[in-house]
Structure 1
Amino acid sequence: MNIISSVEPHAHVSSPESRRFSHVDTWIFDLDNTLYPHTSRVWPQVDERITLYIANLFGIDGLSARSLQKYFYHKYGTTLRALIDEYDIDPYDFLDFAHDIDHTDIELNASLGEAIEKLPGRKLILTNGSRKHAENVSKKLGIFDHFEDVFDIAAANFVPKPDRRAYEMFLEKHAVEPSRSAMFEDIAKNLVVPHELGMTTTLIVPKTVDPFREEFEQEAVKTPHIDHITNDLADFLRDCVVSARP
């Protein structure tokens, strides 16, 4: 399947065998490219800051730094994990540098806030970014107050999704029962473990192709570990989740 943004403005895809939401009492959301659209220009800035960090760290040019960054990302899941394991960097310095961005283009999303507020039960953010980054972005979106807590990369001892250990640490810390939970995420591989643990999974894809992200990160992949696919999270929560509950 191609990116469903090419099908229609508000597209939702669910297979007949997919898990539903009637039993869910804990709602778990990734942050980057899940709770905001790529037009907010958040991730491109973070990505550029990571490249600059690598260039400064190794004293290399931008193209070389970019190539090394992508190598780290594909091998370790995150550039940060690679830099910790191979070069023993200070992860907090890295996160502060990477997330020092301009939030001007992040728009208040009242419809998303209303949809999240109506979800019955707990709402949590599970991110490979920092708590500060999650707070800054979600406050600009106008949704921060709807969440009980943020579980960031530091809380996971810098073990990133999709590593099973990251999810297990999250579940233990927040006493979450996965079989009564739903996970919303923009990268398909990050939903494999949540589905294996018993969560209802939803993949968020962009409405239009994001030129700053790799193709595999935007694919609306139809696989057994993805129960639902949407390119409009607020609309999906309102029409396919809240309205469908008893």
Structure 2
Amino acid sequence: MTEPETEIRETRDARPEDFAEVKNWIFDLDNTLYPRRTDLFAQIDARMTSFVAELLKLPTEEARQLQKSFYRKHGTTLRGLMIEHDIDPDAFLRFVHDIDYSGLAPNPALGAEILALPGRKFIFTNGDRGHAERTARALGILDHFEDIFDIVAAGLNPKPARETYDLFVEHFRLDPARAAMFEDLARNLEVPKALGMQTVLIVPSPLEEDIAEAWEQEGRGGEHIDFVTDDLAAFLRRVRN
């Protein structure tokens, strides 16, 4: 069996002219607007494992393996649990997002770059609105976004489902050809690229690379990725100037 593609395809440096027509700036939340080293999503991940373990009365390691299989098969653990075990999504979302946000510090450099972007700015997340608001508020960037499109707005159908992106585009009445999407998971950029968006993959810094799991690195060499960066604020500064 062939090993999954994890090598990052080389991309040229982004230039302002590459984004001259972009008027819609779309950002994933977890491990995109904050660095992986904060371990914020790691808390959510651990609580998802705990939820699965308690629900199905499984040992922790077995619950974690099942949780990851739900993610890979259905897009999110929540979707897998809904389909295969008919759980209450509200209870799941409340439980997994009951985490400590104190490790997040304001990021004025990123905030200044997002604020300076021309046009509309959105958070598009497979998490829920409350989690997105708490995270963005802790980063000091919540007020820089026009709106948040969360898993509830998506009808609980997560990225990378095509229907979810179509809902997002229709809801905000935006032109995908004048949009750019920033994501930490390569597979979530396939549909945006097909819709005509510029796509930017956010990867861990070299010091964080060993934190990422193998499945999180799959598809990084895909042709659907226009640009790759490990520093979102610096990338936005380059494409504005």
What TM-score results when the alignment is normalised by the length of structure 1? 0.90
Give me the whole-angstrom Cα distance separating, in 2, the residues matched to 1:146 and 1:170. 19
Residue matched to 1:60: 58
Distance verdict in 2 for CA 1:211–1:45, change over 3 Å: farther
Distance verdict in 2 for CA 1:44–1:3, change over 3 Å: farther
Amino acid at match of 1:185: E
Give me the whole-angstrom Cα distance separating, in 1, the residues matched to 2:89 and 2:197. 30
- Residues 7, 221 of structure 2: 8 Å contact kept: no
Residue matched to 1:143: 141
Q: Secondary structure at the match of 1:69?
A: helix
Residue matched to 1:224: 223
Unpaired segments of 5 or more residues in structure 2? 1-5
Give me the whole-angstrom Cα distance separating, in 1, the residues matched to 2:45 and 2:56. 17
Q: Secondary structure at the match of 1:53?
A: helix
Unpaired segments of 5 or more residues in structure 1? 5-11
Give me the whole-angstrom Cα distance separating, in 2, the residues matched to 1:165 and 1:220. 21
1:75-154 map, 5 Å: 75-154=73-152
- 1:156 aligned to 138, 154, 160, which one? 154
Residue matched to 1:33: 31
Paired positions, count = 233
- Residues 24, 121 of structure 2: 8 Å contact kept: yes
Give me the whole-angstrom Cα distance separating, in 1, the residues matched to 2:93 and 2:78. 8
Displacement of 1:212 in angstroms is 4.8
Residue matched to 1:167: 165
1:187-226 map, 5 Å: 187-207=185-205, 208-218=207-217, 221-226=220-225
Give me the whole-angstrom Cα distance separating, in 2, the residues matched to 1:198 and 1:37. 27
Give me the whole-angstrom Cα distance separating, in 2, the residues matched to 1:28 and 1:222. 21
Residue matched to 2:233: 234
Distance verdict in 2 for CA 1:55–1:211, change over 3 Å: farther
Residue matched to 2:41: 43
Amino acid at match of 1:64: E
- Residues 187, 219 of structure 2: 8 Å contact kept: no
- Residues 123, 147 of structure 1: 8 Å contact kept: yes
Give me the whole-angstrom Cα distance separating, in 1, the residues matched to 2:181 and 2:125. 12
Residue matched to 2:182: 184
Give me the whole-angstrom Cα distance separating, in 2, the residues matched to 1:165 and 1:22. 28
Query: Between the two proteins, what is the percent identity of the paired residues?
Result: 51
Residue matched to 2:3: none
Displacement of 1:85 in angstroms is 1.1
Give me the whole-angstrom Cα distance separating, in 1, the residues matched to 2:236 and 2:12. 13
Residue matched to 1:7: none
Displacement of 1:220 in angstroms is 8.0
> How big is the alpha-carbon RMSD for the aligned residues of Structure 1 and Structure 2?
1.9
Deviations 1:176-211 (A, max 9, x none): 110010000001111000000000000000103355
Q: Secondary structure at the match of 1:106?
A: coil
Give me the whole-angstrom Cα distance separating, in 2, the residues matched to 1:160 and 1:60. 25
- Residues 106, 141 of structure 1: 8 Å contact kept: yes
Give me the whole-angstrom Cα distance separating, in 1, the residues matched to 2:148 and 2:127. 10
Is 2:32 the partner of 1:20?
no
What TM-score results when the alignment is normalised by the length of structure 2? 0.91
Q: Secondary structure at the match of 1:157?
A: coil
Distance verdict in 2 for CA 1:145–1:177, change over 3 Å: same
Amino acid at match of 2:149: F
Amino acid at match of 1:63: E
Distance verdict in 2 for CA 1:186–1:51, change over 3 Å: same
